[in-house]
Amino acid sequence: MQEETKAPKTPDPERAMTALAWAVERAERGAPPPPAEPGAAPTHPVADSEDFRAASSLYLPDVRRTIDRIIMSRDAEDGLDALLECGALGAMLPEVKAMVGFGDGEWRHKDVWKHTKQVVRQAVPRLEVRWAALLHDIGKVKTRTISPSGEVHFFGHAEVGARMFDRLDRRLPLFNPEPALKSSVRFLILHHLRASQYEASWTDSAVRRFAKEMGDQLQDLLDLSRADITTKRPEKKKKGLRQISDLADRVEQIQKLDAVVPPLPSGIGDEMMRAFGLPPSRKIGDLKKALEAAIDSGEVPSHQCADVYLAFLRDNAGRFGL
């Protein structure tokens, strides 16, 4: 007797949306449900991957708004766990799901999922910072290495994470209506380690260069860096927060100084024309930009007299076309 073949299951996007609504409610009510009995069937809505894929295809803006509400909620950690439990995380954000249970055991490093949830909760409630908090460590899963002495490293995980974000975005274009938000989130993933690398020995030129490279994302980056400190050791946490505050103070001081006294002395253009026999031209502006770039890179100090910059130009005459 020939066996009957089961008809393929029809995806149910409404079931997925019901599960997402439950996750939002759990995040926004601020208290987790009581634990279920071992082995008991889940009492909350659950959908499968096909359901979530169908929902993402039909209701993508609603899906984005749902995740936004969860990561911006007062209990984002529990909301993210709800996304995991209802099947949404694995179906829509497998890069995030891969962090669940990654660490906190034989590999001697903190559980990346627990860390990520805490970073999201600690982050200032700005959408770009919260999304970057959720995704900033996705590259760790692909970059973990163990040294012969047992030390764990994640070399290049920020760069790998940014590329993973690109693939995520192509698969699930959550940010397509907001290209500026997409750009900000990717930038923060790529640079999320930069502020924590600051040391008091940085020169003013190094601080100036850092601030210039971070541009309009500077405040978001500093806020993400603060949220990324999840150590349970009070002194270590205090040191990390102080490091970021010191960097923010240095940036502010240098920007204030540059606003009052530009890095190059007044009249440097006239001095260059006299020293090198140049007429008023675009060349003078190009030389000034080249000097500003040299200051940013630390090749020559800022706020010096004209003779210092003229000597620098003479020493590098071929480079500057003089």
Give the pLDDT confidence of 217-235 residue by residue, as tens digits: 999 999 999 999 999 999 9
Which of 61, 186, 71, 190 has its CA nearest to residue 126? 71
State residue 184's pLDDT score: 97
Segment 206-222 mean pLDDT: 93
Q: What CA–CA distance (Å, rounded) separates 165 from 170?
A: 9
State residue 69's pLDDT score: 96
Measured CA angle at 31 (ends 28, 32), to 5 deg: 110
Segment 48-52 mean pLDDT: 92
Which of 29, 44, 10, 137 has its CA nearest to residue 79? 29
pLDDT band at 1 (very low <50, low <70, confident <90, very high): very low
Tokens of 164: 């993973």
pLDDT in tens, 70-129: 999 988 999 999 999 999 999 999 999 999 988 755 556 578 999 999 999 999 999 999
pLDDT band at 244 (very low <50, low <70, confident <90, very high): very high
pLDDT in tens, 123-147: 999 999 999 999 999 999 999 888 8
Comparison of pLDDT for 253 and 5, the residue scoring more: 253
**Cβ-based neighbours of 40, under 8 Å, separated by 6 or more:** none
Q: What CA–CA distance (Å, rounded) separates 250 from 200?
A: 9
302: left (phi over 0), alpha (psi -120 to 50) or beta: beta
Contact 99, 138 (CB under 8 A): yes
Highest mean pLDDT among 93-97, 152-156, 268-272: 93-97
Residue with tokens 């080249």: 290
Q: What amino acid occupies position 180?
A: A
pLDDT band at 164 (very low <50, low <70, confident <90, very high): very high
pTM of model > 0.85 = no
Segment 140-169 mean pLDDT: 90
Neighbours of 189 (CB within 10 A): 28
Q: What is the DSSP secondary structure assignment for residue 7, as one 8-state letter?
A: P
Q: Mutual orientation of helices 60-71 and 13-29 as an angle, nearest 10°?
A: 20
Can you give the length of the chain in residues? 322
Q: How far is CA 322 from the centre of its chain?
A: 42
Mean of per-residue pLDDT scores for the chain = 89
Q: Which H or E element spans position 55?
A: helix 49-58
Comparison of pLDDT for 219 and 5, the residue scoring more: 219
State residue 75's pLDDT score: 87
State residue 42's pLDDT score: 60
pLDDT in tens, 183-203: 999 999 999 999 999 999 998
Q: Exposure of 169 by Cβ count < 10 A (0-12 exposed, 13-18 middle, 19+ buried)?
A: middle
State residue 30's pLDDT score: 62
Give CA separation, 319 vs 209, 295, 312, 313, in Å.
Answer: 21, 16, 11, 9
Give CA separation, 172 vs 19, 91, 187, 275, 295, in Å.
Answer: 18, 11, 18, 59, 43
State residue 2's pLDDT score: 52
Residue 4, pLDDT above cutoff 90 = no
